[in-house]
Every structure is written in structure tokens, then in C-alpha cells.
Amino acid sequence: MSDPAKASVKGTNAHKHLELPHYNIIHPHLNFSKAFLCSAAFLFQYVALYSAQNVQSVLFQDDNYDNLGFISNAVVYLGQGSGSIFCVYFSSKYGDSKSMAWASIFAIPFIVSLLLPAYRSVNLDSDAWYYQQGFVYTVILFTSLLNGLGEGVSQPASGTYISDCAVEQNKGFYFALFWSFYMGSQVFGNLIAAFVLGNIDQQYYVLIMTGMCFIGVFLFFFLKPPIVQHDVLRKEIKDEKSKSVRL
């Protein structure tokens, strides 16, 4: 006869792959590769995003676009706040891994749009229509909003994803692992900006950041839903406690 507890676990969408009848056979690092891949994807994408957002204010002023960089950053954070409102809906409907993957695509137009002011830096005397302030302002602010909306979905979803990768015994380690990669994006992004912008033209810096962003998006699409174990662990502990009380 089939085990009803196991059947109930198989019948749920969230835990359909779980067959862990006892908490003492929980595998603490079963999802380590998934947490590592998620962390690496954030590293590559946010090396590009944070580095670009950190330096664009100065670069845009050098390219005769006044305070566009500051306004762009404000629009990005406005988009983040707005996008986070819809994060729960997308995560519950499509799952955290797919939500992060599709949301990461929204960063690409923003990074690519930075090529406009970057190429203007070597063509300051050009009167081409695509260098005009009206066009550049519109493109940069629109793509900044898209970028912010994507970040607003992917960042909250990453917290749930890493939580589902971990179990009670190692959740601190998993969040520390993710945070170290996430903060590493600031370290490497700023170092790349300092080296590249000090030696070669802006457009090459933007092209490098575009490549980093594409790598991050590529990695996001390899993410798979983790095998959630902590809910099973809590249920088993609760069951054990109930048995001990009855005895």
C-alpha cells in the first residue's frame, strides 16, 4: 500500500519532487549548485548595472547631457519600488527562477542605451538626431524604468529562491554566500570602471558591461526550481513532537 504522507507530498506543486519521509535524512547542500548559480548570475548582471549606475552621472555630464545620470538613477529606483509590488504575483504564477530570468532581460535595453552617450563622447561636435538631448533623454529614462521594474521583480524573488535552497541548519551560510556575490558586484564593477575608463574610451566600457549583463541573463535561464526541504523538516519535527506528547 502507498504511504499517504508521501502521496500528499507528491500531490503538491511546490514539493512534487520530494520523497523525504524523515527529517534526519535531509540533505543540507542538495541545492548548493542552484544557490551558487543564482549568486553567480546576480554577480555578472549587477557588475554591469551597479557599475553603470555609479558612473553614469559623471559621464553624462562630460557628454553634455547635464543631470541625466542623476535623473536616470531616480527613475531606476522608482521602477524598483513599482516592480516589487508585482513580484509576488509573478513568483506565485511562474516561480522564482522563471521570474528572475525573464525580469533580468529588462536590464539589457538599459545597458545598450548607454551606447548613445558613450559614442557621443567621441563625437561631441556631431548634430546627428540620435545624439540630440530630447531623443537621448527619452531613451535613457524609458530604459531606466524598464531596468528598475526588472530589478524590482528579481531582487525580492532571489530572497525566496535562496531561502528555498537552504534548510534550517545552513540558511545563514546560503544567504551569506548570495550576499558576498551580490556585494562583490560593487567591488568588481567599480574596479573595472576605474581601470577601463582611465585607459580607454567610454564606448568600450559600455560594451564590456553589455557583455557582463548578457552573461548574467544567460545564467539566469539555467536556474531550476530548488527541491524545498525545510517545510518537510518542520512538518516532521512537528509530527515527532506530537507523538512524544501523546506518549
- Using CA atoms, how far residue 102 sits from 17, 29, 193, 224, in Å, is 24, 26, 27, 13
Q: Which domains does the chain have, with CATH numbers?
A: 30-241 (1.20.1250.20)
Q: What is the pLDDT along the chain (247 residues), one digit of tens a residue?
A: 445 444 444 444 443 444 444 445 667 788 999 999 999 999 999 999 999 888 887 888 777 788 888 999 999 999 999 999 889 889 889 999 999 999 999 999 999 999 888 887 777 777 778 778 889 889 999 999 999 999 999 999 999 999 999 888 888 899 999 999 999 999 999 898 888 887 888 888 989 999 999 999 999 999 999 988 765 555 555 555 555 555 5
3-state secondary structure 39-98: HHHHHHHHHHHHHHHHHHHHHHHHCCCCCHHHHHHHHHHHHHHHHHHHHHHHHHHHCHHH
**Within a 10 A sphere around the Cβ of 21, how many other Cβ atoms?**
12
Cα–Cα distance measured from residue 72 to residue 230, given in angstroms and rounded to the nearest whole number: 41
